[in-house]
């Protein structure tokens, strides 16, 4: 059995310029997988390539050589020499590799702990390796278990349930204020990226319809189409505020574009219905005194940042619980893997002794031609019991040594002691 390993670089070791350059699309990954498998240096291999990490998971007799081979091939796709990548690469083997894979799948090794994208990216990488027939039994078991661990982490902890982006923090606050967003109307003022992202999150949570206002009418129409919303003239801001529930502002204006007086006039038409402002702009788009008005809730970028910081701290606390789950599952997986390491030897040993038992039993029965069926059954049971008692100690010792990480030396000893045939690696 080869050594399970992972080698790679991530956001912790490599700058974004390197990660971007080394990240490969699926067809290029297939090409690399086919090449490295054809060399015979790896028994199994899978490559995880995202904007934040490029990792090679494999099973090989010589992990260091396999790592060099694979990253040389990966670098060649982008004109990057292995010597330039080596200082940024890490390698983990066996238990450490299992631990790393489980943490990656559970989003505990991500730039933002708990982000959901990585699990889908891992599943895509597994699918590519399966399609290329480079995912053998060891990596298959590893990732099926990793997916189960990730599901357990998300089910049993809140590591992914706290908003850690400004745009999603805004959505979280809006949900609390309105006790749900189904049917809540939104006005997006400006076409900034963060404002657009917040609007998309609101729509995903059930907010509808959405109105878009921008000083550039063409841009307002373009963004409204992208959000399945309606463009409104910038001059109609006040009238639109009177009919919506949530206003997201993200313009590049140098001074507030939404004044206290304008909001007061809109409130008069709203008949005391609450109005929620999310001001993501810097400088602010909404006058600070707007927040003093009754039934108005106004959050600026600093308010949202406080929510994000608090949620990050909460995620870190939940991550500690998740790490305990991962540690427990790693121990279980490694124990089973080590048990499997000695299974072929146990099977060979049992087969060897069973052949001896059968041969000797046949000799004994040949000398007892008149033996009754009862006598034959007694001899069968007796010889089987003797073999089982002989097997008990070596099988127990093999399993114990394997779990202690010493299975290789004991399997070699048992093979030598009992004259067992060694299958080619």
In a domain, 331, yes or no: no
Where is the domain boundary, 161, 196, 215? Answer: 161
The verdict on 24 and 112 lying in the same domain is yes
Looking at residue 128, its pLDDT comes to: 96
Tell me, what CATH number does 242's domain have? 3.40.50.720
Closest CA to 55 of 76, 71, 68: 71
Q: Is the Cβ–Cβ distance between 298 and 277 less than 8 Å?
A: yes
* Cis ω before 209 (30° cut-off from 0): yes
State yes or no: pLDDT of 305 exceeds 90: no
423 has pLDDT over 60: no
Is residue 255 one of the residues assigned to a domain?
Answer: yes
- Of 247, 280, 301, the last residue of a domain is 301
CATH code of the domain containing 114:
3.30.460.30
- Tell me: do 7 and 70 sit in the same domain: yes
Judge if 97 and 222 occupy the same domain. no
* Predicted confidence (pLDDT) per residue in 63-89, tens digit: 999 999 999 999 998 899 999 999 999
Q: Taking a C-beta distance cutoff of 8 angstroms, is the pair 358, 418 a contact?
A: no
User: What is the C-alpha to C-alpha distance for residues 224 and 255, in angstroms, rounded to an integer?
Assistant: 25
Q: What is the pLDDT of residues 135-192, one digit of tens each?
A: 999 999 999 999 999 999 999 998 877 657 777 788 888 888 898 999 999 999 998 7
Whole-number Å distance between alpha carbons of 41 and 119: 28
Residue 141 to residues 61, 144, 148, 320, Cα–Cα distance (Å): 19, 5, 11, 25
Do 152 and 185 reside in the same domain of the chain? no
Question: 296 and 274 in contact (C-beta within 8 Å)?
Answer: yes
Catalytic residue of the set 16, 26, 51, 385: 51
pLDDT of residue 43: 96
68 by Cβ neighbours in 10 Å (0-12 / 13-18 / 19+) ranks as middle
Name the pLDDT band for 408 (thresholds 50, 70, 90): low
Q: What is the mean pLDDT of the chain?
A: 90
Q: 0.75 cut: is pTM over it?
A: no
Give yes or no: residues 291 and 204 share one domain.
yes
Tell me the pLDDT band of 244, cut-offs 50, 70 and 90. Answer: very high
Helix (H) or strand (E) holding 92: strand 90-93
Asked, for residue 217, whether it belongs to a domain, the answer is yes
Tell me: do 173 and 148 sit in the same domain. Answer: no
Q: Which of 263-267, 329-333, 410-414 has the lowest mean pLDDT?
A: 410-414
- Tell me the residue range of the domain where 397 lies: 338-418
Task: Identify the pLDDT of residue 163.
Answer: 59
Residue 158's pLDDT is 86
Is residue 138, in this structure, part of any structural domain at all?
A: yes
Same structural domain, 141 and 211 = no
pLDDT confidence of 398, banded at 50, 70, 90? confident
SS3 53: strand
Whether the CB-CB separation of 300 and 284 falls below 8 Å is answered with yes
391, 297: one domain: no
Mean pLDDT, range 341-359, rounded to an integer: 86
Give per-residue burial for 35-50: e unless 16+ CB within 10 Å, then b: ebbeeebbbbbbbbbb
**Structural domain contains residue 425:** no
Cα–Cα distance, 193 to 216 (Å, whole number): 15
Do 29 and 145 have their domain in common? yes
Q: Which of 35-49, 262-276, 310-324, 350-364 has the highest mean pLDDT?
A: 35-49
**132 labelled catalytic:** no
Write down which residue in 145, 161, 177 finishes a domain.
161
pLDDT at 315: 83
Q: Which residue has the tokens 């090449």?
A: 35
Same domain, 204 and 274: yes
**Residue 55 predicted with pLDDT over 50:** yes
- pLDDT the model gives residue 1: 60
Confidence of residue 56 (pLDDT cuts 50, 70, 90): very high
Rounded CA-CA distance 182/67 in Å is: 51
| Dist. CA 211–CA 189, nearest whole Å | 8
CA of 261: how far to CAs of 189, 245, 289, in Å?
18, 18, 10
Q: Is residue 324 part of a domain?
A: no
Does residue 333 sit within a domain? no
Between 384 and 346, name the one with better pLDDT. 384
Stated as kind and residue range, the H or E segment containing 400 is helix 373-403
pLDDT given at position 414: 79
Asked whether residue 385 falls in the same domain as residue 402, the answer is: yes
| 167 neighbors 236 (Cβ within 8 angstroms) | no
**13 vs 241, higher pLDDT:** 241
Residue 171, pLDDT score: 85
Q: Based on the domain organization, do 170 and 218 belong to the same domain?
A: yes
Cα 16 versus chain centre, distance: 20
pLDDT, greater one: 146 or 420: 146
Residue 96: inside a domain, yes or no? yes
**pLDDT value of position 422:** 60
**How many domains is the chain built from?**
3
């Amino acid at each position: 059995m080869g050594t399970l390993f992972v080698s790679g670089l991530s956001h912790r070791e490599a700058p974004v310029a390197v990660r971007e350059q080394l990240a490969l699309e699926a067809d290029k990954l297939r090409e690399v997988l086919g090449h490295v498998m054809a060399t015979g240096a790896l028994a199994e291999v899978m490559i995880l390539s995202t904007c934040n990490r490029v990792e090679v998971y494999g099973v090989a007799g010589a992990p260091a050589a396999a790592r060099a081979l694979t990253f040389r091939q990966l670098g060649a796709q982008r004109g990057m020499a292995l010597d330039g990548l080596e200082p940024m690469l890490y390698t983990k083997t066996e238990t450490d590799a299992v631990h790393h894979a489980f943490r990656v799948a559970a989003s505990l090794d991500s730039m933002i702990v708990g982000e959901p994208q990585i699990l889908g990216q891992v599943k895509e990488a597994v699918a590519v390796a399966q399609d290329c027939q480079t995912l053998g039994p060891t990596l298959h078991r590893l990732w099926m278990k990793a997916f189960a661990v990730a599901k357990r982490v998300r089910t049993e902890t809140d590591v992914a349930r706290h908003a850690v982006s400004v745009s999603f923090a805004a959505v979280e606050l809006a949900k609390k204020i309105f006790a749900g967003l189904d049917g809540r109307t939104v006005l997006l003022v400006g076409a900034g990226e963060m404002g657009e992202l917040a609007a998309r999150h609101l729509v995903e949570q059930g907010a509808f319809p959405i109105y878009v206002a921008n000083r550039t009418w063409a841009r307002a129409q373009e963004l409204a189409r992208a959000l399945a919303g309606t463009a409104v003239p910038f001059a109609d801001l006040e009238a639109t505020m009177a009919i919506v529930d949530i206003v997201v502002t993200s313009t590049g204006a140098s001074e507030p574009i939404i004044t206290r007086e304008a909001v007061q006039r809109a409130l008069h038409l709203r008949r005391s219905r609450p109005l929620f402002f999310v001001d993501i702009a810097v400088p602010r788009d909404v006058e600070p005194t707007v927040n003093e008005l009754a039934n108005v809730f106004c959050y600026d970028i600093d308010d949202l940042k406080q929510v994000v910081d608090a949620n990050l701290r909460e995620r870190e606390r939940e991550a500690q619980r998740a790490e305990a789950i991962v540690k427990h599952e790693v121990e279980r997986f490694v124990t089973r893997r080590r048990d499997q390491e000695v299974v072929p030897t146990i099977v060979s040993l049992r087969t060897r002794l069973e052949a001896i038992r059968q041969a000797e039993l046949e000799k004994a029965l040949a000398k007892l031609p008149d033996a009754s069926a009862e006598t034959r059954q007694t001899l069968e049971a007796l010889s089987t019991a003797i073999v089982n008692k002989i097997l008990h100690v070596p099988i127990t010792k093999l399993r114990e040594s394997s779990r202690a990480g010493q299975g290789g030396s004991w399997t070699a000893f048992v093979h030598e002691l009992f004259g067992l045939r060694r299958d080619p690696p």
